[in-house]
Amino acid sequence: MTIQWFPGHMTSARRQAAETMALTDVVIEVCDARLPEASSNPMIRELRLHRQRPCLKLLNKADLADPVVTEAWLDFYNSQPGVKAVAISSKKPGEAARVPGLCKGLAPHRNDGIKPLRMLIMGIPNVGKSTLMNALLKRRVAAVGDEPAVTKSQMCIDLGPTMSITDTPGLMWPKIRHDSDGFMLAASHAIGRNAVIDSEVATFLAGLLLQRYPAMLAERYGLVIDGMDGIGVVEAVAKKRGCIVKGRRGGELDLEKAAMVLLTDYRNGKLGRISLESPQSRVAMLAAEASDGGEAAVG
């Protein structure tokens, strides 16, 4: 299964974002700390480089990610020109409060008090942009929901007399190049469920967890995982959690229900602090694709 998701409103959202960026001093790109590169929209990078705008890259949901892997990503991004990367949880007001000061450091020409510092929040759906906006303003001004593409239009608000901030709708790109990126995005709930098959996404996630965090799987579900593959994990979760198709004889396993158990546990952090990709795994995935001349299954 190849995952693609580009709702119609995102075409106009991209155009509006490009227009707003022309009037912006700093781009705040919010990514998912568990999959920073897969959740980084290449169109955002193209737009900001075209306008030569500095970027504050926020690895949000850091409290759900593997801290060792997150540190490796921070080193990776902070080595790039014009980029300052920090890990935060936008649900924690104290961490969100650091953002304006970090932006000031990227736009020293706005420290003269003549013109306000103008910040633009961008990112893919469901990475926490609106939660960040609400935390910065210390009140609920942006709709927040556990579904991608809740925000549909831009919103600009003053953060006092010396700075303003604009929140934008979650922005995907027309074609997800790497299959593994699509699966990681779907597993992390950045893609609408109408575009995916939950059991296939859960099978992918289970296979990745078997490689990188097998002890967390075993502990959460009481599994003996030796010799298991991704499908076997989903089936085992169905048995452990009593996911049975109602009205069917013989106790047929409800794999879709079991898939949602696994995906929800990952999304909520109940499996533990997990990162789906690292700088090293990203390099390996791209190298495998180059050698195969096609798509690799795991990032």
Which sequence spans correspond to the domains of the chain? 9-167, 197-292
CATH class of residue range 197-292: mainly alpha
Quick one: which H or E segment has residue 121? strand 117-123
Res. 157 pLDDT band, cuts 50 70 90? confident
pTM of the model: 0.87
What pLDDT does 10 receive? 63
Task: Check whether 24 has a pLDDT greater than 90.
Answer: yes
DSSP label at residue 228: -
- Region 204-222: what's the mean pLDDT? 97
* pLDDT bracket for residue 152 (50, 70, 90): low
Per the document, the length of the chain is 299
Note the pLDDT of residue 221: 97
The two tokens of residue 167 are: 């929140």
Angle at 190 between CA 5 and CA 34, to 5 degrees: 135
CATH class of 9-167: alpha beta
Return mean pLDDT, the chain. Answer: 88
Given a cut of 60, whether residue 294 has pLDDT beyond it is no
Beta bridge partners of residue 158, listed in sequence order: 164
Q: For residue 261, is pLDDT > 60?
A: yes
pLDDT at 130 > cutoff 50: yes
The residue to which tokens 């929140």 are assigned: 167
Q: Indicate if the pLDDT at residue 298 is higher than 60.
A: no
Model confidence at 194: pLDDT above 80: no
pLDDT of residue 299: 32
Q: Do 197 and 48 meet the contact criterion of CB atoms below 8 Å apart?
A: no
Query: What would the pLDDT profile of 73-104 be if each residue is shown by its tens digit?
Result: 999 999 999 999 999 998 887 898 999 999 99
Tens digit of each residue's pLDDT (9 = 90 or more) over 225-250 = 999 999 999 999 999 999 999 866 66
Closest CA to 130 of 160, 166, 162, 100: 166
